[in-house]
Amino acid sequence: MIKSVKRFLSASGKGMKRSAIREILKHLQKPGMISFAGGLPAPETFPVEDIKEIVLEVLEKHGAEALQYGTTEGDAGLRRALVERHNRQGLNIGIDNLIITSGSQQALDLIARIFIDPGDYVLCGLPSYLGGLNAFTAYGVKLKGITLDSEGMKPDELEETIIHLKELGRKIKFIYVIPDFQNPAGITLPESRRIKIIEIAEKYDLLIVEDSPYREVRFRGEPQRMMYELDNTGRVITLCTFSKILSPGFRVGWVIGHPEILDKIAMAKQTADLCTSSFVQKIIALYLEKGLLENNLKKTIALYSERRDFMIKCFRDQMPENVTWTEPEGGLFLFVTLPRHLDADDIFRKAIERNVAFVSGSSFFCNDSGRNTMRINFSFSNPVEIEEGVKRLSAVIREELASK
């Protein structure tokens, strides 16, 4: 009998960590739990009846093909539909600039696999999406965080960090950016700052990974052009997904980029899963063809906007004065900052006892800072749950403040 498999593990296997967010989801099985933790879409937004009809139509018209293996690059019909949709939105791409992946999380893993050697550096926001950070560190990367202000990643600090690392002889592979309603901070980069970051990347010959899962979930304000559209050097790689605009259960995303980069992603994907589900891709392609996505997305945006506004009202009514939060123009999250002497991990343990969950902000900081922050999801819970959940959470914070 093997006593432990640890001695068989690779260096990357030994270094793997469970996702803090995935672990928190275990607590949600507790009766009466109100969750502000996961980045979960509202189940009410899932077009179940439309999908039922489309599934039958796909099986009737394309049954054998839908149940067969597909090409690694993705279903041609879905790729064409996405290319046409992006071009209507301002891009100028062809089918060779787009590849389908099994969610954008797979894209993060494949990008890390093809670009990162152990010891390389990736520059990311402080804070930044935990799933991206975990995907990169699995391949031995060193993460260097760049502070965010109210307009996102600070260009001056970014350039100073690049110069410093290069003076030390370090190899930087790419800049990781979530420009629209950043996870977890909710911040959107204005176009001027997007251009500045692209100029810095070009100056120092770096790639940019533009992670864009929330871009279309905008409630108010003007959309900013995608970094891919603003770049004319081929160094921006853009990741998109249906998880936040249709259904995470489909596990379908896509990557837009230079054909040579996508060719390498396809090679890596062949060893990962051969191809994304042909069946699911044909369902989504037909859903797009029928023009159903836009109408459903409008309903989703309206619902999330109402929940965001209501949660902010509850925060204003119930939170202590020295607690602050972001008020994003879209996306799924508020980012809360507590007084510096409070630790969100301590508050989390007490909040769980009161049947309310969130994600401690330190999970999103690659330098282990941000211990007085928390990420709050507003898309999943209904108004009754939001009001009660904020009430419970604010009570825990007030008690913690009183005890310090």
* 60 and 106 housed in the same domain: yes
Within a domain: 2 = no
Digit-coded pLDDT (tens) for 315-345:
999 999 999 999 999 999 999 999 999 999 9
* 191 and 133 housed in the same domain: yes
Domain stops at, among 292, 311, 345: 292
Could you give the C-alpha distances from 358 to 21, 375, 378, in angstroms and in order? 9, 6, 11
* 252 and 307 housed in the same domain: no
Three-state DSSP class for 180?
coil
339 prior amide bond cis, ω within 30? no
Q: What is the mean pLDDT of residues 34-54?
A: 96
Within a domain: 179 = yes
Distance of CA 69 to the CA centre of its chain: 28
Q: Report whether pLDDT(3) > 80.
A: no
Q: Which of the 8 DSSP states describes residue 43?
A: G
Reported pTM: 0.95
**pLDDT value, residue 11:** 77
Digit-coded pLDDT (tens) for 223-273:
999 999 999 999 999 999 999 999 999 999 999 999 999 999 999 999 999
* 229 and 105 housed in the same domain: yes
* 273 and 353 housed in the same domain: no
* 382 and 309 housed in the same domain: yes
Q: Give me 73's structure tokens.
A: 């690059």
Which residues, at least 6 apart from 268, have a Cβ–Cβ distance to it below 8 Å?
110, 113, 114
Closest CA to 149 of 185, 201, 200: 185
* 259 and 371 housed in the same domain: no
Full strand arrangement of the beta sheet holding 333-337: 324-325, 333-337, 373-377, 359-360
Within a domain: 1 = no
* 63 and 19 housed in the same domain: no
* 78 and 145 housed in the same domain: yes
Within a domain: 84 = yes
Domain stops at, among 259, 292, 325: 292
> CATH number of the domain that 359 lies in?
3.90.1150.10
Q: What are phi and psi of 157, to 5 degrees?
A: -65, -35
Q: Report whether pLDDT(167) > 80.
A: yes
Q: Report whether pLDDT(90) > 70.
A: yes
* 74 and 193 housed in the same domain: yes
**pLDDT value, residue 10:** 78
Q: How many domains does the chain have?
A: 2
**pLDDT value, residue 360:** 95
Closest CA to 152 of 188, 123, 183, 184: 188
Domain stops at, among 277, 292, 307: 292
* 202 and 230 housed in the same domain: yes
> Do the Cβ atoms of 372 and 397 come closer than 8 Å?
no
- Angle between helix 191-203 and 155-167 (nearest 10): 10
Q: Which range of residues forms the domain containing residue 172?
A: 48-292
Within a domain: 5 = no
Within a domain: 4 = no
Distance of CA 322 to the CA centre of its chain: 29
Q: What is the mean pLDDT of residues 192-204?
A: 98
> CATH number of the domain that 60 lies in?
3.40.640.10
Within a domain: 3 = no
Q: Which of the 8 DSSP states describes residue 129?
A: -
7 CB-side CA count, 13 A: 3
